[in-house]
Amino acid sequence: MSFFQRFDEINPKVIYLIMAVALIAPVLRPIGMPITITDQLTTPVFRWIENLNPGDVVFFDSAYSGGSDSELGPQLAAWFYHCMKKGVKVVGVSQWADGAPLAYATLTRVAAEAEKDGYSAKEGIDWVYVGYKAGGVSIWRGMQTDFGKACAYQDYNGVDFSKLPLMQRVKAWDKSTKGLIVFSSGSPGVPTYTTYFPDYEIYVGNVAVQVAGSMSLLRSGQVKGVLAGLRGAAEYEKLLGRPGSATKLMDAQSLGHLIIIALIILGNVAHISKKRKSRANVA
C-alpha cells in the first residue's frame, strides 16, 4: 500500500492531534515566523507614539467585548507599553461596558511589566483609566469641554480626580492632547470620533473583519493609521522589539494554515491516486 493510499484512510483523530500540536507548540515555544510590517496601516500608529515627547497626553477607547479581546487586547498591550516606554501619559475610556474590565486588566498587567523593565507606569500619575460612562454620545461630547464633569470626576475604581495627579492636567478632551486611538469591534466605536471629533488625530485598532470598513476612513484622512487584527498587534510588537502574545498566536495561526494547506494537497493527491487504482482494477 502506497503512502497516499494510507493517507486517504488515516484516522481523523490523527489529523486533530497534528492540528492541536501545531497550534499549541508555537504558543509555548515561539517559532519566530517572519512578519512583514504594513507601512500604510501599522507604521503610522507606531510613529505617532514614537514621535511624541515625554509628558504628552493621549487618549484611548476600549470599545470591544470579550469576543474580541484576543485580537484587541494584544493591540492595547503593545500600544500601552510603548506609551509607558516613551513617557507618554495615557487616559482611557470605554464606550462599551464589557470593554472596561478587559482593558483595565490589560493596563494593570502591562504597567507592572513596564515598571519591572525600568519605566514609570504608575496609575494616577502616568495613566488613568476612566472606563465606561453611560450616556452615549452626549457624554463623549461633554468630555470635549469639561472632562471631569462628564466623567463624574471619578476613574474606573471610583477614585476622585482630585487624587489623581494626571487628571489635574486633563481638563478637557481637546487639541491640547496629542491624539487618540479607538480599539473597536463594533458600534458604538469609531464613528463617534469621526463624527464629533473631526479635527482630532484619530487612530484605530480593529478586529480583522472590520479592517476593510476602515480603509475608506484611512484614504480620506479621517483616520491616520490602523492596527489590523492580531496581525496588527504582532507587527506593533515587532516594531517595538518586544515579541508578546500576538507574535506567539500569529506563529500558531501561520503554522496551522500551512498544515491545513498541506493536508488539502495530500488529501486530493490521495483521492486521485485511489480513483486511478480503482479504474486500473476495473480495466
Task: Please state, for a pLDDT cut of 90, what percent of the chain lies above it.
Answer: 57
pLDDT in tens, 179-198: 999 999 988 899 999 998 88
Q: Cβ contacts of residue 59 below 8 Å, gap of 6+? A: 90, 91, 92, 93, 173, 177, 179, 180, 181
pLDDT in tens, 213-241: 889 999 999 999 999 998 999 999 999 98
Phi first, then psi, for residue 212 (nearest 5°) are: -55, -40
Contact 206, 229 (CB under 8 A): yes
- Position 5 scores a pLDDT of 61
- Position 12 scores a pLDDT of 75
Residue 188 preceded by cis peptide, ω within 30: yes
- Position 262 scores a pLDDT of 74
- Position 1 scores a pLDDT of 52
Confidence of residue 279 (pLDDT cuts 50, 70, 90): low
pLDDT in tens, 241-258: 888 877 776 666 666 667
Taking residues 133-153, what's their average pLDDT? 90
- Position 264 scores a pLDDT of 75
Cα-trace Rg, the chain: 23
- Position 35 scores a pLDDT of 80
- Position 46 scores a pLDDT of 97
Tell me: pLDDT of 4 over 60.
no
pLDDT in tens, 40-95: 999 999 999 999 999 999 999 999 999 999 999 999 999 999 999 999 999 999 99
Distance of CA 129 to the CA centre of its chain: 17
Taking residues 135-142, what's their average pLDDT? 88
Quote the pTM value. 0.83
Sheet holding 127-132, edge to edge: 127-132, 89-94, 57-63, 180-184, 202-206, 226-228
Beta carbons within 10 angstroms of residue 60's beta carbon: 25
Confidence of residue 174 (pLDDT cuts 50, 70, 90): confident
- CA gap 232, 237 in Å, rounded: 9
